[in-house]
């Protein structure tokens, strides 16, 4: 086992802190950055610098952890555009050209300090002053997410009052091992901040995500550990579950679409139960049900949709169509999730969506590997890919009309295995939604994308194949795999 090492971490000016790494120096800079984020509760993005002896101990960007050793000094340099803690969950503040004021902090901190880090004071001039002309008016922040659940959950900064209390309690715990009982106001501030941070990534966190958040919380703030529990954070896990549920209730009252869609008044007849037909991300979707753009209404976006019907028929008009499709994304997404329209109706309402130009080309395995994947996972590739000869067009049309979901491939009569198919297309609910895709691999990519766009479930007879697409190839919610897919992933990495 590696010996513990101690590092001096400088945040700027007179703000320097001590960091103890019990497992030694991490093997990569990214891992070291995560250690620093977790230990100091940082949410900002930054790079690290170290003192290089070759340049007179001047600071140089850290590219490899082999450059540092025990009791070295690291400097944290925040990026110009920071991700800071926001009072509005699920948002990332836009960049500002102004320099943020440093937060008050102590001059030295031990392993788990809790005060907010000061930014580099060298960027301030001694005669700098702020007036009304320096006021920055930020653009309205959209109610949308920018990322899925992170690999390492970062504990947010809490209120100034809570941070002071936690800093003192942590220092007392490190010195004497004392575990205080948090006051109700402190517990409320912590849970409020944690709920907002969780909602930045998902409105419906899983049990494992809640447990991860609770575990990271007591790791960042050891004074919050609980006596008499198996893992020291079970109570916080239950508190967080309740708080997140209450947080959803508050958002539902103000009409946030992602939670309001599951209110009893918005459920269909015969499903007027709280737990019936919950609409939530099930395939690691980031913006499952976003709000309409600021200043827009359903009526104005419906007018944009109608205008799209004309724009999509014009030649060399891809830029205008793309802009209008982006503008109407939230309106279209609400239609898909709330109304669950028939595919035939949806194709008629949004024809621009079912063109290759509106779909991103996702690199996947070659056609033969895709077929082999189905075989390895003990699933029938013929369920996914249906092949026909161009001389049997009537048979193809008849079977395509009865296909729930899959690809059709039209081969030339007498063609060999190396010759490209005459046509490859996607069929959903008997409707040919895409054609002329060129290859089976590209067709699979388009089918996978349309499943997300239309909020469809994976075909049950191909659940392992699509799980592999999502969790291994796309790395979406890839932490929890079925035993069959997990075995395949391990063999791929050997």
215 found inside a domain: yes
Within-domain flag for 248: yes
Residues 402-425: tens digit of each pLDDT: 888 989 988 887 776 667 788 889
Rounded Cα gap, residues 441 and 447, in angstroms? 10
Residue-level pLDDT at 356: 66
**Structural domain of 323:** 298-358
Same domain, 278 and 303: no
Q: Determine the 3-state secondary structure of 59 from DSSP.
A: strand
pLDDT of residue 398: 85
Q: Are residues 269 and 314 in the same domain?
A: no
Distances in whole angstroms, Cα of residue 233 to Cα of each of 166, 174, 212, 220? 16, 18, 10, 12
What confidence score (pLDDT) does residue 96 get?
Answer: 35
Q: Are residues 469 and 397 in the same domain?
A: yes
* Helix, strand, coil % in the chain, rounded to nearest 5: 45, 10, 45
DSSP track, 276-335: SS----SS--SSSSPPPPTT--HHHHHHHHHHHHHHTTSTT-HHHHHHHHHHTHHHHHHI
pLDDT at 68: 92
As a whole number, mean pLDDT of residues 90-95 equals 37
Rounded to whole angstroms, how far apart are CA atoms 286 and 149? 9
Residue ending a domain, among 307, 337, 358, is 358
> What confidence tier does 54 reach under pLDDT thresholds 50, 70, 90?
confident
Give the CATH number, domain containing residue 77.
3.10.20.90
Query: Does 348 lie in the same domain as 273?
Result: no
Using N-to-C axis directions, what is the helix angle for 207-220 and 234-253, rounded to 10°? Answer: 120
Q: Domain check: are 374 and 349 in the same one?
A: no
When divided into structural domains, the chain yields a total of 4
Report pLDDT for 92.
Answer: 36
Note whether 454 and 432 are same-domain residues.
yes
In a domain, 127, yes or no: no
Confidence at 14, pLDDT banded by 50, 70, 90: confident
Q: Tell me if 137 is assigned to some domain.
A: no
Given pLDDT bands bounded at 50, 70 and 90, which one contains residue 5?
Answer: confident
Mark whether 198 and 234 lie in a shared domain.
yes
* Domain edge (last residue) among 219, 252, 283: 283
pLDDT (mean) for 167-195: 89
Q: 114: pLDDT confidence band, cut at 50, 70 and 90?
A: very low
Boundary (domain end) residue, out of 358, 392, 409: 358
- Are 20 and 74 within one domain? yes
Q: In what order do the strands lie in the sheet with 15-21?
A: 15-21, 5-12, 73-78, 46-52, 58-61
Assigned domain for 139 exists: no
Predicted confidence at residue 105, as pLDDT, reads 37
- Is 416 domain-assigned? yes
Coil, helix or strand for 36? helix
352-390: pLDDT as tens digits: 888 765 544 443 346 777 778 888 888 888 888 888 887
User: Quick check: 487 and 472 in contact, CB under 8 A?
Assistant: no
167, 256: one domain = yes
The angle at the Cα of 248, spanning 255 to 87, to the nearest 5 degrees, equals 85
- pLDDT band for 217, please (50, 70, 90 cuts): very high
What are the residues whose beta carbons fall under 8 Å from the beta carbon of 468, sequence distance 6 or more? 373, 377, 485, 488
Per-residue pLDDT at 273 exceeds 80: no
Same domain membership, residue 250 and residue 269: yes
Same domain, 354 and 382: no
User: Is position 293 within any domain?
Assistant: no
Residues 305 and 177 in one domain: no
Establish if 185 belongs to a structural domain. yes
What tens digit of pLDDT does each residue of 225-267 get? 888 777 888 899 999 999 999 988 888 888 888 887 877 777 6
């Amino acid at each position: 086992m590696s010996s513990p090492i101690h590092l001096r971490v400088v945040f700027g000016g007179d703000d320097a802190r001590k960091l103890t790494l019990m497992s030694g120096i991490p093997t990569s800079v990214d891992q070291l950055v995560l250690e620093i984020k977790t230990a100091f509760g940082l949410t900002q993005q930054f790079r690290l610098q170290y003192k290089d002896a070759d340049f007179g101990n001047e600071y140089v960007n850290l590219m490899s952890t082999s450059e540092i050793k025990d009791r070295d000094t690291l400097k944290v340099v925040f990026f110009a555009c920071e991700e800071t803690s926001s009072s509005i969950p699920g948002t990332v503040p836009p960049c500002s050209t102004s320099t943020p004021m440093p937060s008050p902090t102590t001059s030295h901190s031990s392993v788990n300090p809790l005060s907010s880090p000061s930014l580099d004071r060298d960027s301030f001039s001694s005669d700098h002053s702020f007036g009304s002309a320096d006021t920055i008016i930020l653009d309205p922040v959209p109610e949308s997410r920018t990322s899925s659940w992170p690999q390492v959950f970062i504990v947010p900064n809490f209120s100034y009052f809570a941070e002071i209390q936690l800093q003192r309690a942590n220092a007392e715990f490190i010195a004497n091992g004392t575990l205080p009982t948090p006051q109700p106001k402190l517990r409320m501030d912590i849970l409020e901040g944690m709920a907002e941070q969780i909602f930045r990534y998902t409105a419906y966190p899983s049990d494992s995500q809640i447990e991860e958040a609770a575990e990271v919380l007591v790791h960042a703030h050891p004074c919050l550990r609980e006596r008499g529990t198996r893992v020291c954070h079970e109570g916080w896990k239950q508190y967080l579950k309740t708080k997140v549920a209450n947080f959803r209730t508050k958002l539902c009252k103000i009409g946030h679409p992602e939670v309001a869609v599951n209110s009893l008044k918005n459920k269909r007849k015969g499903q007027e139960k709280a737990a019936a037909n919950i609409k939530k991300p099930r395939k690691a979707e980031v913006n499952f049900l976003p709000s309409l753009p600021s200043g827009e209404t359903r009526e104005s976006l419906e007018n944009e949709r109608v205008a799209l019907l004309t724009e999509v028929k014009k030649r060399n008009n891809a830029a205008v169509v793309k802009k209008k499709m982006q503008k109407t994304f939230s309106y279209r997404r609400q239609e898909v999730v709330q109304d669950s329209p028939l595919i035939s109706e949806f194709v008629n309402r949004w024809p621009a969506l079912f063109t290759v130009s509106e779909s991103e080309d996702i690199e996947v395995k070659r056609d033969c590997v895709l077929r082999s994947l189905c075989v390895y996972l003990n699933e029938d590739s013929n369920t996914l890919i249906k092949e026909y000869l161009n001389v049997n067009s009537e048979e193809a049309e008849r079977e395509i009309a009865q296909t729930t979901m899959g690809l059709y491939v039209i081969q030339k009569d007498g063609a060999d295995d190396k010759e490209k198919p005459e046509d490859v297309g996607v069929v959903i609910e008997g409707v040919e939604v895409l054609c002329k895709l060129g290859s089976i691999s590209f067709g699979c990519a388009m089918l996978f994308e349309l499943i997300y766009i239309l909020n469809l479930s994976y075909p049950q007879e191909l659940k392992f194949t699509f799980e592999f697409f999502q969790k291994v190839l796309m790395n979406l919610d890839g932490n929890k795999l079925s035993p069959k897919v997990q075995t395949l992933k391990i063999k791929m990495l050997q």
